[in-house]
DNA sequence: TTGTAAGCGTTATCAG
DNA sequence: CTGATAACGCTTACAA
């Protein structure tokens, strides 16, 4: 028994097959071609005919299947957004910017939350090869996997957001000015009178963290102890705790390469009975929402996460929407130092 | 110099048309059918032939076009996730749960960030009618628009997350136990000795807020002044400020229907020179990340945002993946009172 | 074990 | 101004 969408009662519980362009054409006694053109406006149609078609469209509740349209057009108007953790406010802001830019151009965004999991990332990258998405905004925040590089090097439409990737100098990339951020922190602490600092960096593979550290060291011009963290709160806590436990810490200020680790540092210092900023100053990076609410409120570098996401996406779509391959280009967005309560001149 | 895809030699730099199943078939001297079956395993294929096909697949870098597959199958393995603001950590957590559940079942998630914009919401709801997505997890957090209701009532596969919608008692819904949360707060404040409270609610159209208030009033059994906010920080600030400015506030505790408004209240109290919790206790709802970092840290009701997203999605997909319409059902997830530093017995 | 052909629902091309 | 036909790239009866 076949289903007839016009049937008197195709039955309440069953899922009715939605009307197709053919159903509309038949009911309006025109060809599918004409229906298509009435809806798209791609060529003039007699007003009488058009009216008849439109009325049938309404009556049947016809909505064109975008899938078929995509197949025919060769593009889906959907892009992927690859990020490691959507519950991190930095990436959430970035996602918002990406979604906004995509929405402006009529694109949808598939959320690819990797949890730093390479396998998961690979699966999502596969979507681009299966042509389910027209491009990818990539902000994975972890070192490149083999398949990832393959996809990128294969000149698939990908834009890097916030983070460069080694060996991909020829990509489209939008990023905050990490080095300038580091420099601002270095200058700030130096001006306050600090001469010995602890820098908690991110993993060496991540260029952004390296740039932050580089800018800082250059501007601080004092003694810097470096420790490598992983951008998670606990590593900030652990590294600072260890140094304090080892006795006589050789720093009056801590610069963590992101706010999360700065929070960890704050906790470690508090537990050690040190006051912030009385005994030790602390600076973060990112300016996530919690930074201004923490106690003491955190001096940090504001990253324009929203703009990074928005810029990367807008740039990508500018080319993708014309069927072109995005060329190499770099968009560096300005950062800003937010001086709050966690920094002060060193004691003595 | 422009790129001309039709040029005499679109050669090396141009975008090569990706290999299709026909290309593979031709190169392997078999029919497309066989290629399909080698890849899907849907019917046995001679091992020799299969090997030959696989080798060609590798050589050509063939990846099946999921679009065509979807068209044929009548489903995309993609769902939509409608939320008002991805940069709100509550919704970000919810999104994470949804993405996780979807990923487990091989589904992709299209991020539909509405910014509380009805037009934007409508556009996204259109996707479900155009069959680009197989279902929708709906957590919009604003009163229903006409089209929304239409979509929902039309028995499209939609699951409500976190928020009921009026007139949709027959939907699949996963939500935190808002009423129990309100009750916990009421009991807590009562036990501390408070007898007069200010309750800052959300908009009346949102059932979750109403349930929170209801539970609270019932359990508190004292005098409650109610003011209607909009779930944004500023409204908490404004409402409390106004009451304080009017002189002699008739409360020793404030219960805000979400953390954001509680933060606003905190600011208003501080500006009025009142100490928290010394003069006034403050309680929020949601337990967003900033709640534990604020000063004083905020007593609040922890909502299992991740679980709400995960449950709604898992439930939805359980039916959608079988082509069934999700039946009415309700999943109420437990909440937990987090007692922190913003509550204490009333002065005197 | 394999192939042919008919879809899935559109839109572009070409003809009238 | 309108229509028939052929794609788009895949899966799946039905046949051999």
The residue that leads in pLDDT, A325 or B55, is B55
Q: Quick check: pTM over 0.85?
A: yes
CB contact under 8 A, B131 and A65: yes
Q: Which of B18, B87, B265 to mutate to test the interface with A (most CBs of A within 10 A)?
A: B87
CA distance A114 to A135: 17
In chain B the domains, ranked by start, together with CATH numbers, are 76-175+305-333 (3.40.50.2300), 178-304 (3.40.50.2300)
Strands of the sheet with B172-176, listed across from one edge: A329-333, A172-176, A158-161, A135-138, A78-83, A108-113, B108-113, B78-83, B135-138, B158-161, B172-176, B329-333
Closest residue on chain A to B95 (Cα): A86
Contacts 24+ apart (CB under 8 A), B67-76: B67/A67, B67/A70, B67/A71, B67/A76, B67/A130, B67/A131, B67/A132, B68/A71, B70/A67, B70/A132, B71/A65, B71/A67, B71/A68, B71/A71, B74/B131, B75/B134, B75/B323, B76/A67, B76/B131, B76/B132, B76/B133, B76/B134
Mean pLDDT of B247-255: 92
Please provide the DSSP assignment of B61-73 as one string.
T----HHHHHHHH
Mean pLDDT of B302-320: 97
Contacts of A190 (CB under 8 A, 6+ apart): A219, A220, A221, A222
Rounded to a whole number of angstroms, the distance from the CA of B171 to the nearest CA of chain A is 15
Beta bridge partners of residue B337, listed in sequence order: B301
Q: Which residue is nearest to nucleotide D5 (CA to C1')?
A: A33
Rounded to a whole number of angstroms, the distance from the CA of A213 to the nearest CA of chain B is 26
* Res B10: pLDDT: 34
Contacts 24+ apart (CB under 8 A), A316-322: A316/A79, A316/A135, A316/A137, A316/A157, A316/A158, A316/A159, A316/A172, A317/A79, A317/A101, A317/A102, A317/A105, A317/A107, A317/A135, A319/A157, A319/A172, A320/A79, A320/A134, A320/A135, A320/A157, A321/A105, A321/A107
Q: Which residue is nearest to nucleotide C3 (CA to C1')?
A: B31
End-to-end CA distance of chain B: 81
Low-confidence winner among A225-239, B172-186, B286-300 (lowest mean pLDDT): B286-300
Question: How far from A184 is each of A179, A292, B63, B302, B303, CA to CA, in Å?
Answer: 9, 18, 48, 38, 39
Size (chain B), residues: 348
Q: Which residue is nearest to nucleotide C11 (CA to C1')?
A: A72
State yes or no: pLDDT of B120 exceeds 80.
Answer: yes
In this complex, the answer to whether residue B245 has its CB under 7 A from any atom of chain D, a nucleic strand, is: no
Taking only the tens place, the pLDDT of each residue in A242-262 is: 999 998 889 999 999 999 999
Mean pLDDT of A217-238: 95
Mean pLDDT of A209-232: 95
Contacts of A150 (CB under 8 A, 6+ apart): none
CA distance A203 to A143: 9
Positions on chain C within 7 A of a protein C-beta = 1-5, 7-13
* Res B290: pLDDT: 85
Q: Looking at chain A from residue 308 to 337, which residues have their Cβ under 8 Å from any Cβ of chain B?
A: 323-325
Residue that the structure tokens 């994975």 belong to: A140
State yes or no: pLDDT of B6 exceeds 60.
Answer: no
Question: How far from A171 is each of A148, A175, A306, CA to CA, in Å?
Answer: 13, 12, 20
Helix axes of B89-104 and B305-320: crossing angle, nearest 10 degrees: 30
**A119–chain B Cβ distance below 8 A for any pair:** no
* Res A39: pLDDT: 97
């Amino acid at each position: 028994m076949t289903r007839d969408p016009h049937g008197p009662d195709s039955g309440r519980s069953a899922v009715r097959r939605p009307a197709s362009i053919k159903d509309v054409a038949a009911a309006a006694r025109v060809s599918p071609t004409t229906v298509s053109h009435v809806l798209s406006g791609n060529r003039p149609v007699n007003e009488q005919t058009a009216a008849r078609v439109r009325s049938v469209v309404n009556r049947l509740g016809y909505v064109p299947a975008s899938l078929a349209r995509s197949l025919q057009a060769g593009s889906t108007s959907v892009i992927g957004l690859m990020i490691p953790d959507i519950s991190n406010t930095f990436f959430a802001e970035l996602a918002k910017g990406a979604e906004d830019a995509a929405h402006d151009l009529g694109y949808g965004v598939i959320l690819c939350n990797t949890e730093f999991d390479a396998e998961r990332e690979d699966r999502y990258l596969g979507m681009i090869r299966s042509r389910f998405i027209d491009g990818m905004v990539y902000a994975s925040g972890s070192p490149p996997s083999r398949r990832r590089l393959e996809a990128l090097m294969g000149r698939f439409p990908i834009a890097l957001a916030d983070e460069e990737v080694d060996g991909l100098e020829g990509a489209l990339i939008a990023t905050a000015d990490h080095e300038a951020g580091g420099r601002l922190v270095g200058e700030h602490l130096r001006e306050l009178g600090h001469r010995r600092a602890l820098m908690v960096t991110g993993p060496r593979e991540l260029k952004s963290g390296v740039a932050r550290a580089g800018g800082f060291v250059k501007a601080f011009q004092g003694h810097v102890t470096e420790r490598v963290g992983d951008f998670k709160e606990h590593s900030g806590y652990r590294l600072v705790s260890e140094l304090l436990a080892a006795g006589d810490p050789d720093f009056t200020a801590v610069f963590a390469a992101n706010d999360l680790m700065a929070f960890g540092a704050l906790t470690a210092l508090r537990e050690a009975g040190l006051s912030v900023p009385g005994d030790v100053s602390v600076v973060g990076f990112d300016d996530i929402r919690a930074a201004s609410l923490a106690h003491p409120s955190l001096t940090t570098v504001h990253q324009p996460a929203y703009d990074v996401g928005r810029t990367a996406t807008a740039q990508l779509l500018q080319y993708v929407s014309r069927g072109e391959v995005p060329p190499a280009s770099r968009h560096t967005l300005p950062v800003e130092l937010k001086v709050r309560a966690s920094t002060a001149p060193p004691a003595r």
